[in-house]
Amino acid sequence: MVQKAERVAPARAGSQSRGGAGGTAKAGKSGKPIGNITRGTTNPNRMRRLDRWLTGPQAWRLRRATDPLVVDLGYGASPATAVELFDRLSAVRSDVRVAGIEIEPARVRAAKALERPGLSFHVGGFELPVPGQPVIVRAFNVLRQYEEADVAAIWSLVQGRLGQDGLFIDGTCDEIGRRVTWVALDGAGPLSLTISMRFGGFALPSEIAERLPKALIHRNVSGEKIHGFLQALDKAWLDAAPLAAFGNRQRWTAMCRSMLDGGWPVQDGPSRWRLGELTVGWDAVAPSP
């Protein structure tokens, strides 16, 4: 049963634990996990586009971590994507520890049979009820079920648990992972927005708008930076139409190059662009106050 969304109160200064080597962030005064029960819909391989980014340009974070703890927050009714995350990250760091966290106890009980050394499942919410300071926290299709006004407090709560070089991923995708977006944050704040799309599955890149993270999805209106970004993407995509004869990969790469040449703070490079991926600095898309 999906819980009716409740407001998430901002954490008071000094009230949240940073975990520590043996510490665990605490839940609210009632002892209940912080957050709401979500629909929990998921599918195998749904997070592959994000996972290959984590094992690609972000793999250094895991390799450098003293404690390779990773949290899959709100993995849903099926633990499939948490298991996939563990398998993929194990190729980067064989001693990685992945903790799947769900606020619905029945989902955790169902996942327990899949536990193995390095992979565990726990009841909890945004307080992250596991010892240690994670190097990666992934929350996909979770925050979109909250109020936009709650995003800053949720981000702050999770950021407060990150370890050195830690990264929090707040993302959204369609049912089978063909249209994906995510915001990457470190302990200081948001760093970037990434969009990743399956070639042949869209007419214009701006169609990704329906899968924007909660912090941006209601800001795709005239006057907001994200709207200007998506409009610029469409123009660059249309301008690159002559390259369609060579395939959508060539056309997408030309679009990304045009955005970079046009002054947009595009990150990474052609090796990522060829995957249907584009990352841009957060300041270029951040919502207005």
Domain positions in the chain: 48-187, 205-284
d(CA 116, CA 5): 33
Sign of the four-CA dihedral 39, 45, 46, 50: positive
Residues sharing a CB contact under 8 Å with residue 180, sequence separation 6 or more, in sequence order:
49, 50, 171, 172, 173, 174, 194, 195, 196, 197, 211
Predicted confidence at residue 43, as pLDDT, reads 80
Please indicate, yes or no, whether the overall pTM of this predicted structure exceeds 0.75: yes
Q: What is the DSSP letter of 213?
A: -
Predicted confidence at residue 209, as pLDDT, reads 98
Written as six digits, the tokens of 283 are: 């300041």
Predicted confidence at residue 8, as pLDDT, reads 59
What does each C-alpha distance from 225 to 216, 222, 234, 255, 281 come to in angstroms?
Answer: 10, 8, 14, 18, 12
CATH code of domain 48-187: 3.40.50.150
Predicted confidence at residue 23, as pLDDT, reads 36
Backbone torsions φ then ψ of 77, nearest 5 degrees? -70, -25
Strand ranges inside the chain, DSSP E:
69-73, 97-102, 119-123, 136-140, 167-173, 179-185, 190-197, 266-267, 277-281
Q: Which amino acid is at 22?
A: G
Predicted confidence at residue 56, as pLDDT, reads 97
d(CA 177, CA 180): 6
Predicted confidence at residue 267, as pLDDT, reads 96
Q: Are 127 and 25 in contact (CB under 8 A)?
A: yes
Can you give the pLDDT of all 289 residues of the chain as single tens digits? 334 444 555 443 333 433 333 333 445 545 789 998 877 677 889 999 999 999 999 999 999 999 999 999 999 999 999 999 999 999 999 999 999 999 999 999 999 999 999 999 999 999 999 999 999 999 999 998 899 999 999 999 999 999 999 999 999 999 999 999 999 999 999 999 999 999 999 999 999 999 999 999 999 999 999 999 999 999 999 999 999 999 999 999 999 999 999 999 999 999 999 999 999 999 999 999 9
